[in-house]
Structure 1
Amino acid sequence: MNSTDPHHFDLAVVGSGILGLAHAYAAVKRGLRVAVFERTGTPLGASIRNFGMGLVTGQPPGIMLDLARESRELWLHLSTRANFSAREAGTLLFARTEAERDVLQEFMIVRARQYEYRASLLQGDKLNTLYNGRFSHHLAALHGTEDLQLYSREAMPALVAYLHSQGVHFRFNTLVHGVGDGHISSTAGEFRAERVIVCSGHDYQTLFADKLQAMNLKQCRLQMLRVKTEDALPLTHAVLTGLSCTHYGAFSDLPTARAVHAEIDQTAPLLNKHGIHLLVSPTPYQELIIGDSHYYGTDSPPFNSEEIDQLMIGLAEHTLATRVQVLERWQGVYGSKGPGPFSALPIDDKTTAVLMHTGIGMSVGLGLGERVMKALLAGDALPSGNAVVAPATALA
């Protein structure tokens, strides 16, 4: 191959979200000549709209927990080289009710011990002295110490700039409308590559529509806000509540989680109706990103519900014990409802599609890109998201 041919590469990546950049990084550090194609002028999809949480504690045992831990190390490595913020204070998951506290206790007794989650349960004095007693109205807090906070709207462009400095060729404002057997057809012309990896996010129409439609994939649309607090709150941890115990796989299959489901249905059915659970992620600028809701469909309607925003604001104000002022509102969007949390699909001998089916691409994407590239170069089986770990046993 002509190493200077502007239309021929070792690896072509379609999509500049975190999955696309993960594969580009895994390839360029192995000495491959890499090009990334993106239809917009900068990453604007799921990876730029999210909380920026590198969540390890919430991942279920098995491949997702492993990928989150591998991604954490890669984020820390890249943050020093690409000069973006990756804060290591971790997360605080607050139990507001006895049912939520029961889940946290079972998690610590059963799952944390068995799978070596790095977490501690704060109660009594340890809880009451946290942030000068601000959170003493809660019953307990799970402190997950492996979790990272990234500010996506800065981290993603910084990662693009770093990869460019390492030799990755970026073609923004370029729509790829055909891929097959190492040939790439785009609005910027024809290209060739020894391998092509397509990370097309929630776009199931432009490439490989027949194969993706058979998987009955959905989109998930979220409502999110950026706020500032009325009183000073120098929050350094990301914050969740026991509502997340029904959402994240590290907790949701524990026997005690059933009581939390029932409690939400009885006391706050609108939260279940709109798929709301609270996430609060501090930015480097003393602001907070809060959300989120979940709407699943084949498309993402553009109309936000004020009822949903007000429910999330109310949850945040109660959890943080302060009023907030909204600075910005937007919609997140990601691909969802797949056969597992992700798919790595061989399309032909030179083409692979890699898609996330959950909203945790920032948490696991870098590790997944590393594993996919390693498998492709070695001729090994691609990673699968269908690895199952037996559910936790009930507490006696």
Structure 2
Amino acid sequence: MKSEKHYDLVVVGAGVIGLATAYAARQRGLSVAVLERNAQCVGASVRNFGFVTVTGQRRGEHWRRAMRTRDIWQQVAPQAGIDVVHQGLYVLAQRPEALNVLEAFMQTEMGQGCRLLSRAEAAHELPQLQDGVGVLHSPHERRVESRDAIPLLSRWLQQSLGVDFYWNTPVREIELPRIHTSQGLFHAEHCVVCPGHDLNTLYPELIAQAGITLCTLQMMRVRPAQPLQLPGSVMSDLSLVRYEGYADLPEAAPLRARLQAEQAEHLKWGIHLIAVQSADGSLVVGDSHVYGQAEAPFARDDIDALIQDELQRVLKLPGASVEQRWTGTYASASDVVYKAQPAPGVAVGIVTGGTGASTSFAFAEELVALALGD
């Protein structure tokens, strides 16, 4: 493509934030193109859990983003042919200190719709859970298979909403209304840049001011020896000192201290448990968190062993085997999102807390509004 193309809004990046931005722009009646430097999405959006998480998100605006995003996923998924594999979340409290955190969480507005289950109720709903002192059930979460959902969402945006996609099209420079790419010149009144963890190609000086680093995580696909059906996603005590909706509560401090005494290696590598199920019965399990200025390219067996250790503490899975292992990388900062306007009509947006699938659609609405000057 060497001839010039004209659009109301161009999105740079075809990860989940870029796709959500294209959707938000089309909802406002704008003509939209998505420019992606790779032949397909290969970043965090297809490597992570596909777990649309509401419960435990940072209190306030980010929690509201997750609720809004969950609602849009619920609308979009059936139209795009995306299966919601399961719904809801079970958090196993393995220690009394963890139960105290869950009880405090239930007293906040974020606990709306959630339940604390008795041991009998938990055993009935999820018999694969190991024994604990309590279980929180949330109905809010949704699970999609991310490696399938992202391509399906792209195809639906193109075929049903008229979004144009240009793959293998890295963007070199943006000076609206001109956008310079390897495939020629695009014209647009507005542009939203969704770079994911690529912090060095577009507006690197601006992004550097935000103190954003990279987080590399390890994940795996586990095959249970016997068929099982998870009715929802599963988390554990370690999640309660990582997800800020729990971790920022005063009651989390005693739990953190006990975990430091009992599972210091897990905390050292930023490990907490998320286990979700795929349609074929396998489990996607993770994850660890290692921070730095560059992606950590090599996975470590000892970290995988710690993740598997926590999985066995939480779910009864005798004889389970690991079928796949992989790493993912996302941008990370003290705030959960980064957005900026480097020039009139241009917005840059990065989810910097590892919650792209969970907050994408709501954050995208903010980015489109910023680019349009609302």
Distance 1:238 1:303 in 2: 27
Question: Is the alpha carbon distance of 1:29 and 1:185 closer, same or farther for their aligned partners in structure 2, counting shifts above 3 Å?
Answer: same
Please state if 1:365 is matched with 2:360. Answer: yes
Distance 1:182 1:264 in 2: 54
Distance 1:115 1:231 in 2: 35
Shift of 1:87: 4.2
The residue that corresponds to 1:84 in the other structure is 82
Q: Which amino acid aligns with 1:90?
A: G
- CA contact 1:196–1:352 (8 Å) conserved in 2: yes
Larger mean CA deviation between 72-81 and 315-324 belongs to 315-324
- CA contact 1:88–1:146 (8 Å) conserved in 2: no
The residue that corresponds to 1:222 in the other structure is 217
Question: Is the alpha carbon distance of 1:272 and 1:51 closer, same or farther for their aligned partners in structure 2, counting shifts above 3 Å?
Answer: same
Distance 1:375 1:216 in 2: 21
Distance 1:184 1:247 in 2: 40
Matching residue within 140, 164, 167 for 2:158: 164
Q: Deviations over 1:128-157 (max 9, x none)?
A: 3233x4325122111011111111011100
Q: Which amino acid aligns with 1:157?
A: P
Q: Which amino acid aligns with 1:17?
A: G
Q: Gaps (5+ residues) in structure 2?
A: none
The residue that corresponds to 1:103 in the other structure is 101
The residue that corresponds to 1:316 in the other structure is 311
Q: Deviations over 1:67-124 (max 9, x none)?
A: 111101110111111011124520001011111111111211x21xx34532101123
Matching residue within 184, 196, 203 for 1:208: 203
Distance 2:34 2:370 in 1: 20
Q: 4+ runs of 1 displaced by more than 4 Å?
A: none
Q: Over aligned residue pairs, what C-alpha RMSD do you find?
A: 1.5
Matching residue within 136, 145, 167 for 2:139: 145
Larger mean CA deviation between 61-70 and 174-183 belongs to 174-183
Residues 1-396 of structure 1: pairs in structure 2 closer than 5 A: 7-87=5-85, 89-108=87-106, 110-111=107-108, 114-115=109-110, 117-131=112-126, 133-135=127-129, 137-165=131-159, 166-323=161-318, 324-338=320-334, 340-377=335-372, 379-380=373-374
The residue that corresponds to 1:394 in the other structure is none
What SS does the aligned partner of 2:92 have? strand
The residue that corresponds to 1:383 in the other structure is none
Shift of 1:244: 0.5
Distance 1:156 1:31 in 2: 22
- CA contact 1:14–1:198 (8 Å) conserved in 2: yes
Distance 2:114 2:271 in 1: 24
- CA contact 1:220–1:295 (8 Å) conserved in 2: yes
Q: Gaps (5+ residues) in structure 1?
A: 381-396
Shift of 1:209: 1.0
Q: TM-score, normalised by structure 2?
A: 0.95
Report % sequence identity. 32
Q: Which amino acid aligns with 1:175?
A: P
Distance 2:259 2:59 in 1: 25
What SS does the aligned partner of 1:44 have? coil
Q: Which amino acid aligns with 1:62?
A: G
Distance 1:375 1:265 in 2: 42
Alignment size in residue pairs: 370
Distance 1:73 1:265 in 2: 37
Distance 2:99 2:252 in 1: 10
Shift of 1:127: 2.0
Larger mean CA deviation between 298-307 and 115-124 belongs to 115-124
